[in-house]
Amino acid sequence: MAQQHNNLDLFFYPSSVALVGASSRTGPAALNVLEQMLNSGYQGRIYPVNPRGGVILGLPVHASVTDIAEPVDLAVVATPRTEVPAVVRQCVAKGIKAVLIITQGFADANDRTGQELHREIMAAIAGTQTRLVGPNTIGLVNSLINLHTSFIEFDFRTAPVGLICQSGIFVNAADDFSGGVGIGVDIGNSVDIGFTECLEYLAARPEIKVINIHMEGLREGRDFLAAARRITPHKPVLVLKTGATEEGARAVCSHSGSMAGADDVFTAAFAQSGIIRVDQAARFAGLNRTLTTYRSMRGRRVGLITVSGGAGIMAADAAGTYGLEIANFSPATMAALQEMFPDWMSPGNPADIWPAAMARGYREVLTAALDKMLADDAVDAVLCNTTAYLDPDTDPQNLVGPINEVAARYPHKPTAVWTIGPHKTAYAAKYAGGAVVAYSSPDEAMYCLSRLYYYHSAVKGGISDALNEEQPAANSGFGTVQTILATALRAGRTVLDYEALDILEAYGIPVVRRYLARSREEAASLAGILGYPLVMKIASPDVPHKSDWGGVLLNITSAEQAAQAYQQIEDQIRSRLPEVRMDGIMLQRQAAGSVEVILGARRDPQFGPVLVYGLGGIYTELVRDVSCRVAPVSGAAALAMMKETCSYPILSGARGREAVDIKAVADCLVNLGLLLRDHPEIAEADINPLLVTAAGCLAVDALMVLAGDDDE
Amino acid sequence: MAQQHNNLDLFFYPSSVALVGASSRTGPAALNVLEQMLNSGYQGRIYPVNPRGGVILGLPVHASVTDIAEPVDLAVVATPRTEVPAVVRQCVAKGIKAVLIITQGFADANDRTGQELHREIMAAIAGTQTRLVGPNTIGLVNSLINLHTSFIEFDFRTAPVGLICQSGIFVNAADDFSGGVGIGVDIGNSVDIGFTECLEYLAARPEIKVINIHMEGLREGRDFLAAARRITPHKPVLVLKTGATEEGARAVCSHSGSMAGADDVFTAAFAQSGIIRVDQAARFAGLNRTLTTYRSMRGRRVGLITVSGGAGIMAADAAGTYGLEIANFSPATMAALQEMFPDWMSPGNPADIWPAAMARGYREVLTAALDKMLADDAVDAVLCNTTAYLDPDTDPQNLVGPINEVAARYPHKPTAVWTIGPHKTAYAAKYAGGAVVAYSSPDEAMYCLSRLYYYHSAVKGGISDALNEEQPAANSGFGTVQTILATALRAGRTVLDYEALDILEAYGIPVVRRYLARSREEAASLAGILGYPLVMKIASPDVPHKSDWGGVLLNITSAEQAAQAYQQIEDQIRSRLPEVRMDGIMLQRQAAGSVEVILGARRDPQFGPVLVYGLGGIYTELVRDVSCRVAPVSGAAALAMMKETCSYPILSGARGREAVDIKAVADCLVNLGLLLRDHPEIAEADINPLLVTAAGCLAVDALMVLAGDDDE
């Protein structure tokens, strides 16, 4: 859609709202939007609209939006679906620039009527100043002005959280999922306003400190990533991408570019844009508190204070689960702890303060231990395990105040608390708004701290692993590739094998020396030029698994053998596959690598060109030890791709192996990414294998599929 | 310890309790055990004991347990540690058979005094009828008789849950962790009564329906597994084993038997005994409700009812995460749903009932959809996502009753609920005690249902993957192995290489044909007998990495070459390693496999012999794609070990590969397990590689370490 205006303030901060399709049924569970809106305390003007007219809940009802005398900022539409297009046209006529359609049954419907109504709505706003949220949405919420458009009771709990979702439950149960909300919107079918615009809007709002997104699907992949990349260094963006499992199940298929599934690409794309991907809705609330309470976290090293040895071990386990480290306290901290501890007990991390607390007082020992740990240069954060056995209002051991006091003195080191006991929820509430976050479990605490550290180390201040848009606009091999592709497509060929090597070579990827022979004699003479040993392979667009058809011969060591091999391959193919085209027979120097890797590329429906990397061989696929990135990538990102696979030590020289030329492989990934960026005709590309030695790398076999291939 | 009696009723159902070390300080946070005990409503007699005498909380104080006139079932000791041995001796003198020591600072202390006090206590009960729980424990709880010995406020919430832990927090915050408790005990240092006895006690108590264990360490590994294996088919046992991460980090080292870390062995051992291992304390409560509410779950296929499309997708994701399947509804179910749904909406699974509910009534549609799904043979369980936007007491759409009613008609198919909204906790309480469990998230629901299915399919009625104790008592090769081991140990040799192959052969593991030559001439003539090509290797206990020292030569194809090779190896070793012993040079037929696998074995400190299996090569170790079992194993268990690795398809014939003789490998695992069971002298054994073809398998290299080797 053309974007006529992008002032989403009309949606989120309207001065007046027309409610089209206002119902006269009221009371609990009546699902009356008007009633909810009135109950919520919104201070703007509200105009109920219903052709039946009359008065609902004390407000006069207009027959149509065009009957409203005053200007209207936002129209909320909840009529039966067949009436919606007419209502939208009336909104346009009235000059309403913000329309939100709650009604279901448009592009989301399975019937023809739904699709037709969808087109009618789009036609109604085309070329106008009117923008749409929805249809098929619970609507929006702005807790800051007590506005919400949901038909369900809404408990406003204001939090500096911006929310974009594709399911109303996140709006209606924001308290549950995100721990409250500031501005939120269910984009529904998002036929006009979608993720990217809402993200940019929330990013610009100073009252919003963190953005939560629930995403089922994404259309504008590249735009969304570009926006996120600009925003995330300044404001954390958390995404719950659902539908992960189903897509993951489809992942394993035969092309190496498909070794990474659709969901893996989302994971990579989010990371490349500084987005923190969450794995469950239940993660949002803790992360929001964490990211809005703590100013930073500068390292992975965690100090643990516990009133129970067992709890300390659980906390240490959780730290390990999320890649945090158990701090090694400095001698000064150890000495300070030993002074408090009974003689028979050596301090450590976790520090079990219980016996010391019994002897010297719980508050004294806990606050002193916390202070010493936070002052220790070897500590980046502290998790205190404390008791919540008594009501915090009457508990003589309520240490919320003292802990907050110590924590506030170390603003760059998070002090986290995990309370145990029946009053844990009441205790958590006491910590709200202070310098400390109270978590429900050590698992939640360590998960959130690990994401906090990730945000401050890898996202804030710039994303090192970003999509590399500063690559040269065109490669010197651009023209060569254009010619090869044009020739192939003119000939109706959409699967390239030997030409694929030429294309790779044109983009600077080292390729094995080779010649195409078109006769026995030519094979013999080209063999002499290449040197031995040689491999010979049928060159044909119609023989995908060449060796299965006798199309490959190895270990050719003389011109005579080369001539014989030519004949043998030709005879095999002619007799077994008489219909196929034969472009000749390829002669290659037989090469060997210390290691073989696979580079793949494909076009993702959301994000465009995607690179996949893995060690060669079937095992890589079985254990799914591959990495992927949205392309193109920088050299650093390519190296990071390689490093995140488990197989990396095989390349870097584990167990006395010879280290191979890792940079050469990274360069190939960079160039393969540029190739796909520059040539949209290439739908898929595989280099399998790329031979790698200490001296460099060499592509010996490659396959490309061009767009338009029906087999793909 | 000798077990003088095992009537733990004296601990858990005492008629009278002496509290030694009773404190006169009372009130909130006074940590007064006596006060807590009195407050909790325990109906037995309580005798405070303190040399200072007097009256505490209205009870006369005895100077010593021996001053109590009546018999005492249980003594609870909370004196300073130095007084404990004397107290225990007095308890023995008084004839008290159950003593629980709260005091810390014994075997758990780092000082000599602690260790001495520990020995004094053990000496005090040796040969007596007195049994100990603790020291270093918060004590025990029996909610059924309002007894607890903790110094912290305790909110009794009775549940049919038995609890054994090594940290008081599980007792004190049982409500948090296990969702209430029936009988529970913190075994502390467990110097006398430990996990196994408590497990057996709880297993025998009819009021306990599920057992929760928090375990930091385990001494009596085999006994515990044997007890668990007997118990789990009748009563579910859940274990949280902490310290997982730390141990996991130590796992990767050079022996293939160590490819599986200590924590992996716990995982395997628990699975072999039918124990459900939980990964966080927060898992207990949901599992306890699940296992005590639902009678069974007969398959993995889940039906999903949702009031929000987005929630349905989240539930489907969670099902996939835990290995459950989204049911394909029968045509009858689909037709019934379509009848309720609006025309424009096709039903599916998840079934989003919201539009239908709007048109035909929430209760009508939800209960009808639930009933149809539960009646469907293609459905094993249903998760309903429902709203909790209003207080359940006033919510006109409170469907707790109707949902329970439908659920109760299908006792063998769990109906689970996940509510969304601010009143979810209140709603969960309404479901308690009925036929339905209300979960806090789809993740919790699917996790719990997956474990329920696992329990009913794999544990209840017998564990198929059990430790195989029905193996023959001794192998026909037993004597041969005894002789080889005795000879080696007499010679002071604890690392065996070529003899290791002899040992394996004696236990029925196919081993490459080979001869030990002691001269050039012998090498030449033995070569002729073996046939070609050959491999020759130095036979020496002192050369571990033979090829690094020129001790291995390949591709020997004639008697003459064999003689030369003998000389060459001998010269290399003599010049480079003049000090080493040379037993001769081994000649082996050079063999090749379609696949190479590694079989390892070692002795685990908790569980004894452990088997490890993986594909050959460094990659297996990098991706940790190995499986392990406590040995010995049955053939079926050995096969299951192989199948649970990602590499299994490489053996079973993935991608057109030739399938190899999997059963031959399984037989080797069985025999290797018997070997370690029968010969405790063998500390470690590695077969690396075992060559596998379609026709069988062949061990070509092996190493054994005998107990007593200081290098290990």
Condensed to tens digits (0 to 9), the pLDDT of residues B151-160 reads 887 777 889 9
pTM: 0.93
Distance from CA of A462 to the nearest CA of B (A): 31
Instruction: Give the rounded percent of residues in chain A with a pLDDT score beyond 90.
Output: 75
Q: Given a cut of 50, is residue B711 above it in pLDDT?
A: no
Interface test with B, best of A82, A313, A621, A642 (most B CBs within 10 A): A313
Query: B343 and chain A: CB distance < 8 Å anywhere?
Result: yes
Query: A69 and chain B: CB distance < 8 Å anywhere?
Result: no
Per-residue pLDDT at A549: 82
> Is the separation of the CB atoms in B203 and B238 below 8 Å?
no
DSSP state of B657: P
Q: Are B242 and A346 an interchain contact pair (Cβ–Cβ within 8 Å)?
A: no
What digits encode the pLDDT tens for the residues B138-150?
A: 999 999 999 999 8
What digits encode the pLDDT tens for the residues A320-357?
A: 999 999 999 999 999 999 999 999 999 999 999 999 99
| Mean pLDDT, rounded, for A65-81 | 96
CA proximity to A168, closest of B307, B112, B610, B194: B307
> Is the separation of the CB atoms in A668 and A642 below 8 Å?
no
| pLDDT band per the 50, 70, 90 thresholds, residue B591 | confident
| Mean pLDDT, rounded, for B459-466 | 69
B394 → chain A, closest CA residue: A28
Q: Are A167 and B113 an interchain contact pair (Cβ–Cβ within 8 Å)?
A: no
CA proximity to A191, closest of A66, A88, A65: A88
| pLDDT band per the 50, 70, 90 thresholds, residue B254 | very low
Instruction: Give the rounded percent of residues in chain B with a pLDDT score beyond 70.
Output: 94
The whole-chain average pLDDT of chain A stands at 91
Give the closest of A165, A246, A342 to B316, CB-based: A246
| Mean pLDDT, rounded, for A489-495 | 90
Per-residue pLDDT at B473: 61
Give the closest of A113, A317, A390 to B244, CB-based: A317
Interface of B with A in 316-335 (CB under 8 A): 316-321
> Is the separation of the CB atoms in A399 and A362 below 8 Å?
yes
Per-residue pLDDT at A261: 76
Distance from CA of A104 to the nearest CA of B (A): 8
Q: Given a cut of 50, is residue B466 above it in pLDDT?
A: no
Q: Are B166 and A104 an interchain contact pair (Cβ–Cβ within 8 Å)?
A: no
Query: A173 and chain B: CB distance < 8 Å anywhere?
Result: yes
**Long-range pairs, B367-370, Cβ under 8 A, ≥24:** B367/B399, B367/B402, B367/B403, B367/B405, B367/B406, B368/B336, B368/B340, B369/B305, B369/B336, B369/B337, B369/B340, B370/B305, B370/B403, B370/B406, B370/B407, B370/B415
Could you give the C-alpha distances from B48 to B52, B55, B68, B172, B264, in angstroms and in order?
A: 11, 9, 10, 22, 47
Q: Given a cut of 50, is residue B252 above it in pLDDT?
A: no
Please report where in the chains the tokens 């699975």 appear, as a residue.
Answer: B271
Residues facing B183 on adjacent strands: B142, B162
Q: Are A355 and B104 an interchain contact pair (Cβ–Cβ within 8 Å)?
A: yes
Q: Given a cut of 70, is residue B634 above it in pLDDT?
A: yes
- Three-state SS string across A439-500, please? ECCHHHHHHHHHHHHHHHHHHCCCCCCCCCCCCCCCCCCHHHHHHHHHHHHHCCCCEECHHH
Contacts of A655 in chain B (CB under 8 A): 618
Query: B165 and chain A: CB distance < 8 Å anywhere?
Result: yes
Q: What is the CA radius of gyration of chain A?
A: 32
Interface of B with A in 409-448 (CB under 8 A): 420-422, 424, 440-441, 443
Q: Which of B41-45, B170-174, B409-413 has the lowest mean pLDDT?
A: B170-174
| Mean pLDDT, rounded, for A502-525 | 95
- Taking one residue from A and the other from B, the number of pairs with CB-CB distance under 8 angstroms is 211
Per-residue pLDDT at B250: 38
Q: Are A167 and B345 an interchain contact pair (Cβ–Cβ within 8 Å)?
A: no
Q: Which amino acid is at B640?
A: A
Q: Is B313 helix (H, G, I), strand (E, B) or coil?
A: helix
| pLDDT band per the 50, 70, 90 thresholds, residue A156 | confident
Output the DSSP codes for B315-383. Answer: HHHHHHHTT-EE----HHHHHHHHHHS-TT----SSEE-HHHHHHH-HHHHHHHHHHHHHH-TT-SEEE
Q: Given a cut of 90, is residue A544 above it in pLDDT?
A: no
The values of phi and psi at residue B330, to 5°, are -70, 160
- Three-state SS string across B20-78, please? ECCCCCCCCCCCCHHHHHHHHCCCCEEEEECCCCCEECCEECECCHHHCCCCCCEEEEC
Q: Are B320 and A246 an interchain contact pair (Cβ–Cβ within 8 Å)?
A: yes
| Mean pLDDT, rounded, for B607-635 | 92
| Mean pLDDT, rounded, for A687-705 | 94
Query: B490 and chain A: CB distance < 8 Å anywhere?
Result: no
Q: Given a cut of 50, is residue A618 above it in pLDDT?
A: yes
A324 → chain B, closest CA residue: B245
Q: Are A310 and B396 an interchain contact pair (Cβ–Cβ within 8 Å)?
A: no
Output the DSSP codes for A337-363. Answer: HHHHS-TT----SSEE-HHHHHHH-HH
Q: What is the largest CA-CA distance in chain A?
A: 101
Q: Given a cut of 60, is residue B99 above it in pLDDT?
A: yes
Query: B359 and chain A: CB distance < 8 Å anywhere?
Result: no
- For helices B221-231 and B262-272, give the axis angle rounded to 10 degrees: 30
Residue B627, token pair as written in the block: 């499986």
Q: What is the CA radius of gyration of chain B?
A: 32
> Is the separation of the CB atoms in A80 and A103 below 8 Å?
yes
Per-residue pLDDT at B712: 38
Q: Are B246 and A309 an interchain contact pair (Cβ–Cβ within 8 Å)?
A: no
Q: Tell me how long chain A is.
A: 712
Query: A712 and chain B: CB distance < 8 Å anywhere?
Result: no
Per-residue pLDDT at A4: 41
CA proximity to A83, closest of A106, A66, A60, A61: A106
Q: Given a cut of 60, is residue B91 above it in pLDDT?
A: yes
Per-residue pLDDT at B628: 95
Q: Given a cut of 90, is residue B476 above it in pLDDT?
A: no
- Bond before A533 cis per omega within 30 degrees: yes
Q: Nearest 10 degrees: CA dihedral of A319, B629, B166, B120?
A: -130
* Euclidean distance between CA atoms B690 and A150, whole angstroms: 66
> Is the separation of the CB atoms in A65 and A75 below 8 Å?
yes
Distance from CA of B158 to the nearest CA of A (A): 14
Q: Given a cut of 60, is residue A709 above it in pLDDT?
A: no
Give the closest of A104, A105, A176 to B424, CB-based: A176
Contacts of B29 in chain A (CB under 8 A): 390, 395-397
| Mean pLDDT, rounded, for B472-482 | 83
CA proximity to A710, closest of A494, A496, A540, A544: A494
> Is the separation of the CB atoms in B507 and B674 below 8 Å?
yes
| Mean pLDDT, rounded, for A539-554 | 82
Q: Tell me how long chain B is.
A: 712
- For helices A283-293 and A442-454, give the axis angle rounded to 10 degrees: 60
Give the closest of B105, B249, B321 to A245, CB-based: B321
Distance from CA of B362 to the nearest CA of A (A): 10
| Mean pLDDT, rounded, for B635-641 | 93
| Mean pLDDT, rounded, for A20-45 | 88
| Mean pLDDT, rounded, for B648-654 | 90
Q: Given a cut of 90, is residue A30 above it in pLDDT?
A: no
| Mean pLDDT, rounded, for A387-403 | 92
| Mean pLDDT, rounded, for A606-623 | 92
Q: Are B622 and A29 an interchain contact pair (Cβ–Cβ within 8 Å)?
A: no
Q: Which of B15-29, B177-191, B194-208 has the lowest mean pLDDT?
A: B15-29
On the CB side of B216, CA atoms within 13 Å amount to 19
Do the bridges between strand A584-589 and strand A514-517 make them parallel or antiparallel, or are there none, so unpaired?
antiparallel
Please report where in the chains the tokens 């004597």 appear, as a residue.
Answer: B479
B608-638 exposure pattern, b = at least 16 Cβ within 10 A, e = fewer: bbbbbbbbbbebbbbbbbbbbbbbbbbeebb
Give the closest of A245, A282, A441 to B280, CB-based: A441
Q: Given a cut of 90, is residue A629 above it in pLDDT?
A: yes
Q: Given a cut of 80, is residue B655 above it in pLDDT?
A: no
On the CB side of B382, CA atoms within 13 Å amount to 34
Q: Is A140 helix (H, G, I), strand (E, B) or coil?
A: strand
Per-residue pLDDT at B244: 66
| Mean pLDDT, rounded, for B175-195 | 93
Sign of the CA dihedral running B667, B669, B670, B671: positive
| Mean pLDDT, rounded, for A448-476 | 77
| pLDDT band per the 50, 70, 90 thresholds, residue B24 | confident
* Euclidean distance between CA atoms A230 and B296, whole angstroms: 52
Do the bridges between strand B595-604 and strand B608-615 make them parallel or antiparallel, or are there none, so unpaired?
antiparallel
* Euclidean distance between CA atoms B694 and B652, whole angstroms: 10
In B431-579, beta strands by DSSP E:
436-439, 495-496, 514-517, 534-539, 552-556
ipTM of model over 0.90: yes
On the CB side of B67, CA atoms within 13 Å amount to 14
Distance from CA of A71 to the nearest CA of B (A): 32
Distance from CA of B241 to the nearest CA of A (A): 9
Interface of B with A in 195-234 (CB under 8 A): 214, 216
| Mean pLDDT, rounded, for B79-86 | 96
Per-residue pLDDT at A473: 61
Q: Which of A303-312, B42-51, B168-177, B287-296 has the lowest mean pLDDT?
A: B168-177
Q: Are B443 and A280 an interchain contact pair (Cβ–Cβ within 8 Å)?
A: yes
On the CB side of B561, CA atoms within 13 Å amount to 15
Query: B314 and chain A: CB distance < 8 Å anywhere?
Result: yes
Q: Given a cut of 90, is residue B322 above it in pLDDT?
A: yes
Q: Is A613 helix (H, G, I), strand (E, B) or coil?
A: strand
Query: A110 and chain B: CB distance < 8 Å anywhere?
Result: yes
Contacts of A647 in chain B (CB under 8 A): 619, 622-623
Contacts with A45 (C-beta within 8 Å, 6 or more apart), sequence order: A15, A16, A17, A70
Contacts of B239 in chain A (CB under 8 A): none
